[in-house]
Amino acid sequence: MVIANGNSPEIVLSVQGIKKSFSRIEVLHGVDFVLRRGEIHGLVGQNGAGKSTLMKIINGVYQKDEGAIQVNGEEVEFHSPIDARHHGISMVFQEFSLVPSMTVLQNLFLARELKNGIFIDEKASREKALQLFKDLEVDINPDEEVSRLSVGSRQVVEIAKALSRNASILILDEPTASLSTLEIESLFTLLHRLKQEGLAIIFVSHHLNEVMTICDRVTVIRDGNVVLAKEVAGLELQDIITAMIGKKLETAQFGLRPSMQRGEPLLEVKNLDSANRFHNISFSLYPGEVLGIAGVLGSGRSELLKTIFGILKKDSGEIILHGKAAWLDHPSDAVKARIFMVPEDRRKNGIIAGDSIRQNVLLPVWDRLAKPFFIDDNRGVQLVSKFIDDLNIRTTSMEQTVLRLSGGNQQKVVFAKCLSTEPQILLLDDPTVGVDIGTRKEIAQITRRLADQGNGVLLVSSEMEELAEQCDRILVMNRGEIIQEIDCSRQVATEESLMHAIQGTASVA
């Protein structure tokens, strides 16, 4: 039954009182969510709000602690994504699950190949694939290698793969993050068609203007609670932003920052370009400055930092340090140039969890501690002790394994590791994700102190309040381009105004 027909829409998914905790910390506090047949339902919230956790519970990746899930009126228990698929639920993650070296056809039926006896029935598989693409009204060659497809076509293949499992509920996680404008228009046309055919779609996105365009209803999650669930037709964009940040800020929360005396830039980026990541990026970073980068997931903000640090390769453009062109082809080149990066995922890229605090902090500077035939352990111990005191790392000893520290103290170890290199340029990629409010304030103090010593800080953050409070200037990125620069000594940045800016709906007043 389609919503547009005027009849009472049929509920295909009902989530009631869902609670979920990780390490005894409750992240969902009794969440309710309802999805109807033939609707596109937007799910939004700031990073860490709990929306991804909820979707993974619905998809069987996580198991709920409390509450109930009903599919088509029947209460169900999901212990894996396979259980969810058996009930018609399929999720397309932002990171595609396709194997690039295999064909579209092989990907569509991977691990569930159509058989004729003991052999794969390629004829039947191809016929089913062609019928899928015909039904979707898209022209994709089943024999094409996935690596040769555009990002938009890969997205369609993921959707086709979900539908080939007879999905009646489709969850799309940030489906437009890497798409061009034309690809987004094509995707929206496809979603409208699927909606009219009765498919129920959950559309998870940071792009609120897209939610307003494509969705019938929207649910906002904040701090593990549903704070808004309404028809989109009765809402303004401002209503969603206010629900997300938890308050309406009519006036600025933070005043103007002191104006800076700018000398020669530490870092200049000129016309930097990286295919499918960002385009024509130019800016300067000055001594004593915290330069923020605001943007939603997929805006190119993190990729820009990784390119400056030598993790990703640029296609064109220049990186200039102290007035001279620099070739940063590897992170080791960046460290030698006194550039260091605190990564977004500390556990994956920032620490060696099984090693001690001492080993982690000294890892990038062992060569400085080396003397002929031995390592100067005393100097290393003094250095680590200083950082433990300066950064207030709560630990029993420097030999404690990092794995046994709290998340906030793990992040402080990453900062200590970074500061041990004596960086002149510090790249911070969402440095306060997953840490408590006290640690956030301490990290802010560390960042400001480093800048005040004449260094430069490039700060990417999903927290608008963090950017508004700390930064001297803020660059706003949208789909790989800088669309606005905010001088915080002349313009007042607030959470609300920055949210509008990154959505491209208003400028900062």
How many other C-beta atoms are found inside a 10 Å radius of the C-beta of residue 144?
14
DSSP for 237-263? HHHHHHHHHTS--SS-SS-PPPPP---
Task: For residue range 449-491, list pLDDT tens digits in order.
Answer: 999 999 999 999 887 778 888 899 999 998 899 999 988 877 7
Residue with tokens 């309406």: 248
Question: How confident is the model at residue 508, as a pLDDT?
Answer: 46
CA distance 39 to 181: 23
Question: How confident is the model at residue 509, as a pLDDT?
Answer: 45
Question: How confident is the model at residue 5, as a pLDDT?
Answer: 38
Question: How confident is the model at residue 371, as a pLDDT?
Answer: 61
CA distance 115 to 124: 9
Question: How confident is the model at residue 373, as a pLDDT?
Answer: 53
Domains of the chain: 3-245 (3.40.50.300), 266-338+423-509 (3.40.50.300), 351-421 (no CATH)
57-71, 72-86, 227-241, 458-472: segment of lowest average pLDDT: 458-472
Question: How confident is the model at residue 254, as a pLDDT?
Answer: 53
H or E stretch at 435? none
Please give the residue that has the higher pLDDT: either 379 or 484: 484
Contacts of 53 (CB under 8 A, 6+ apart): 20, 27, 28, 62
CA distance 143 to 453: 59
DSSP state of 140: -
For the ranges 105-114, 205-214, 284-293, 462-471, the maximum mean pLDDT occurs at 284-293
CB 278 within 8 A of CB 290: no
CA distance 321 to 240: 42
Please give the residue that has the higher pLDDT: either 382 or 76: 76
Please report, to the nearest 10 degrees, the dihedral formed by the alpha carbons of residues 387, 393, 398, 400 taken in order: -150
Exposed / middle / buried, residue 502 (Cβ in 10 Å: 0-12, 13-18, 19+): buried
Question: How confident is the model at residue 464, as a pLDDT?
Answer: 79
Contacts of 210 (CB under 8 A, 6+ apart): 176, 184
Question: How confident is the model at residue 437, as a pLDDT?
Answer: 64
Chain-centre distance for alpha carbon 30: 24
User: Over the chain, what is the mean pLDDT?
Assistant: 86
Task: For residue range 114-163, list pLDDT tens digits in order.
Answer: 888 888 888 899 999 999 899 888 889 999 999 998 888 998 999 999 88
Please report, to the nearest 10 degrees, the dihedral formed by the alpha carbons of residues 146, 152, 158, 159 taken in order: -150
- Taking residues 266-290, report their average pLDDT: 94
Strand partners, 13: 35, 71
The torsion angles phi and psi of 83, rounded to 5 degrees, stand at -60, -45
Question: How confident is the model at residue 367, as a pLDDT?
Answer: 72
DSSP state of 45: -
